[in-house]
Structure 1
């Protein structure tokens, strides 16, 4: 166990799971991501989106890799598609501040569009709002269904930022 902890620290990754939380809840300590905590908190407050939801979406989308690029071409922490980024006025999708602000703004619009139904807003973030509207709910795409489940699970997981 100590060997894996040492490897994680060398990689700049510190994840501790504790089982002392009530009802078996897990606490993830994500020290390596504290660099984005201010951007996340600011964007969440500015756009009235729960901060924990922003953390959950970023965790599912990019695993906190600001240089992530998907096979479909989505970029950055919140995996903005080029068309979405352009629509939101993003100049550099790899800039964490720009990416987070635009991603949270987009998420806020989806939450409003789907009348505060987080399942539908999260599905639309992944599959597009047209797909959600066309199916009248979460589209039957396995990737989207897994994504919604994952984000909601992460959203319900206590996250604690710690200093190293």
Structure 2
């Protein structure tokens, strides 16, 4: 938002504090919308202030977003006539329609003059996206590596121990992921179409050249390739690697840590417990580190 507009909104909010305290029956948002409309109209027409139609349009839109019909009509008129803003019949139709629905008859007539124009909502009417919830720390009190030789089918256990060193992955981490993902079922398919032992979605299979995700050898190779990439991307942080394997590296980046999903928290705790360590060696040359690790 333009600095002037921000200061103006702040001034209006402060000025309204007393008014809303003495008029409990009037919602604060409605009162603010009226004040925004009055200031916008003054700026549009240069009444006591320098004429500034762009700022007027910004204030009109804020008042319109709070349901002020007069602001909706005036802004529609500005867009319909290209007064102070670029002409846009779709936006004009949007605001004329909104004003008409609140009982402004002339808005309905003006809407009819635009003809068969589809209303188009401008960006200023869209509610701002909520800030991502900061991730809660993942706390694991006891780490006890699992002896997968007692749990995993011998064929899969041996295959993991054969392939893991080629990708510089500790077999214990790969086995922990397989246990959590498929419980060693090579034919497993998730509701999201993740397949095989390491539950590779089609995009990951394609990314790491896996032709048949149900083939144990191909699946493990693809999963190990992905783990090697994630370990490099998150510089060996097992919690972040596990979170990314479960929810995607993009989600971890967006939340700047383990996402606030119960499923992902449980998954991360399980991997940390059964792998038995918070860090894993990584290869820096595989990829650049995640933005959340860059200093």
Paired position in structure 2 for 1:60: 180
- Conserved? CA contact 1:39–1:101, under 8 Å: no
Say if 2:252 and 2:259, in contact at 8 Å, map to a contact too: yes
Return the alpha-carbon distance in structure 2 between the equivalents of residues 90 and 28 of structure 1.
25
Q: Distance in 1 between matches of 2:251 and 2:172?
A: 25
Q: Distance between the aligned counterparts of 1:98 and 1:47, measured in 2? A: 13
- Aligned to 2:260, what secondary structure does the other structure show? coil
On the 8 A contact 1:126/1:144 being kept in 2, the answer is: yes
> Take 2:270 and 2:258, find their aligned partners in 1: how far apart are those partners?
14
Which residue of structure 1 aligns with residue 162 of structure 2? 42
Query: What is the TM-score of this pair, normalised by structure 2?
Result: 0.43
What is residue 107 of structure 1 aligned with on the other side?
227
In the other structure, the counterpart of 1:145 is 265
Structure 1, unaligned runs of 5 or more? 1-23, 158-164
> Does the CA-based 8 Å contact 2:148-2:157 persist in structure 1?
no
Q: Note if contact 1:123-1:147 (Cα within 8 Å) is conserved in structure 2.
A: yes
The partner residue of 1:120 within 218, 234, 240 is 240
Higher relative contact order (CA 8 A, sep 6+): 1
Determine if the alignment matches structure 1 residue 78 to structure 2 residue 198. yes
* C-alpha distance in structure 1 between counterparts of 2:159 and 2:222, whole Å: 11
Q: 1:113/1:56 Cα in 2 relative to 1: closer, same or farther (>3 Å)?
A: same
> Structure 1 residues 67, 133: CA separation in 2 closer, same or farther (over 3 Å shift)?
same
Aligned equivalents of 1:154 and 1:115: distance in 2? Answer: 20
Q: Name the count of aligned residue pairs.
A: 134
Runs of 4+ off more than 4 Å: 24-29
Larger radius of gyration: 2
Tell me if the contact between 1:67 and 1:76 (Cα under 8 Å) persists in the aligned partners. yes
> What is the DSSP-based 3-state SS (H/G/I as helix, E as strand, rest coil) of the residue aligned with 1:151?
helix
Q: Equivalents in 2 of 1:155, 1:102: separation in Å?
A: 20
Unaligned runs of 5+ in 2: 1-143, 278-295
Q: Deviations over 1:13-46 (max 9, x none)?
A: xxxxxxxxxxx98756536511112320122101
Name whichever structure is richer in strand by fraction. Answer: 1
Q: TM-score, normalised by structure 1?
A: 0.76
